[in-house]
Each structure stands twice: as structure tokens, then as C-alpha cells.
Structure 1
Amino acid sequence: MRRPSRTEPGPGQESVWDYPRPPAVEPVHDRVVVRLGGVVIADTTEAVRVLETSHPPVYYLPMAGLDLRPADGSSMCEFKGRARYFDVLGGAERDVVAARAAWNYPKPEPGYEVLRDMVAIYPSAMDSCEVGGEVVQAQEGDFYGGWITSKVVGPFKGGAGTLGW
């Protein structure tokens, strides 16, 4: 499938087609809030986001304070290294489990060291994820775990038929 045309960003927006490859990591100055099982499981102003051509940003949050349980499996990113996965626990009694809903890079490749103690969360596995008070939309396909807000325009890689872009 041929990739579709880039959507021109409006005022205050950015196009994912202007993001670099290899990906860039940048701090997030907005408040990021994640809810699971009806409770807030993360609330931080210390997140970072990874920006890669054609992908919505992936937000990484400090692991400290999150209730995570190691999950089976791993994956490899040509830029960031080998990822490990976690179940995310939420709910008032920490009895709500989002299986294999988070990942991190315990030994990231050079240039991505800031991700060592950070974890990315699939927004589709949570009750909600917010950036600066805006509820995000999960990236279609969930392979990449991108967070879509009104500040980014696509088209976005990740859905059916887009892996060859």
C-alpha cells in the first residue's frame, strides 16, 4: 500500500510526518494522567515522548509509583533496544489487571538512556490517558502504542495496511 498524503498541520499542531527517524526523545511539560480501574494510577509532569516518523507520540512515564508486574515476552526496537513488558495494576484494591499493557527498555541503546527508568503504556488498555487535560485516542492497531491528541495530525501508521509505509 502506498502511503497517503501528509495532512497539513493547523496552528498549534504538528505532523507526525515531520518527526525524525531515528526517533527523538523530548520532555513533556504538560501534566499526564492515567486511570485504570476507576482510579488514577499515574499523575506526572515528568513524562517524555518519543517522536518517530509516521507515528503518534509514545509517552513514557516514570516507573516509580506505578504498580507493575513483569509479564512474559520481549520485543526489539532497532533504535531503542530490547523491551520488556509489564502488566499494569489498577483499581482501588489493585485488583484490575491490564495484561502486558506497558513496556520499558532496561538497557536502552545510546541516545535513549532517559528511557531506562520510564515505562510506556498502551492507552487502549487503560480507562483513560490524558495529556494537558485532553483525553488521548489510542493509535489504531496498538502495535506502537501511540497517544493521539488534537495537537498531532497524520495519517498515522499502525492500522491495517499501513505497516509497509
Structure 2
Amino acid sequence: MASKRDWLEAGFKVLTESGVPGLTIERLSGDLGLTKGSFYHHFNGMSGYRADLLNHFEAQYTSRYIDGVERQGGSGSKLNRLLDLVLADEHAGLEIAIRAWALQDDEVRAVQERVDRLRIAYLRTLAREAGADEADALARLLYLVLVGARQVVPPLPTADLRDVYELAMRLLPKNATG
């Protein structure tokens, strides 16, 4: 039997490959090789599934990063640790699919707005901790680079995105990124 997480991860895969039109119980069941009954064991219909999917997206691709940076000790700046975590995950297609979905659905738009605000606020906090003179602008710059790099066709390769971030990090005081 598939876990709730298995169903949610399958939803991420469907969103990435086919967008929200592909997100059906039939498709998910088929992809997992399970019955619709298994789906209903975990979710209260498709609207419940979509709400859980959005919550899982926020937890996996926002909260998990923040928690990981805050828990991890050691040398190096928190901004560099965040960059390493974000660039290690290959989920650019999912981010694109969620943003496209947000253009069509007010509930998804509200989640995307909350995620964007939370991500930028955390970047602002890290930029302030690193001693950035213009932490608000730097936070927006770092986030817009990520969003833009994933929206261009084809998306900017991770190595190239890392180069852009290294350039942006030079805006920090010399001792902030060590």
C-alpha cells in the first residue's frame, strides 16, 4: 500500500510532466499501480488531495530548506548553506507547474503568494545576519534570480545558476560568506 507521501510525490511528478490537467485520480492511481480506493483511504476527494499537495509543496520546498539551514551548524554562511540545499534539489519543473497553476486557481495563488513571502522574508533575515547594507533588495534579487532562472526556456542549468549566485553574493561584506 502506498503512503500518503507516495501519493503526494506522484502528484508532483504528474504536475511536472503534464501540469494540472493531468492531475486526476485515474492518472495517479495508474502511475502508482493502485486502486482509487487507496487514494480515498488517504484523501477526502480531489479537493482534499490538492490542498494536501500544496501543503506538502510548501513543507518540502520551503520549510524543509529553512529548517535545514537553521539546524545545520558548522562553517560557512547560512546563505551559502541555503544555496547548496536549493540547488541540490532538482524541482524546477515543479516550481514552474505550481506557478502556472496559481495563475488559474485562487487557492493555489494564495499558497504561492504565502510561499514567495516566506522565502523572501527568510532571505531578508539571512541577508541582514550577513551584514548586507540593502538586505531587502538583496533578498528580492536572490529570489528573482531563482524564479527567473527556472522560467526561461530552457531553464538555466544548476552550474550556471550557481555562478550567478556567487556573483550576487559578492554584494555582501567580505566576511559574511565565509
Same fold (TM over 0.5): no
TM-score, normalised with respect to structure 1: 0.24
Higher strand share: 1
TM-score, normalised with respect to structure 2: 0.23
Higher helix share: 2
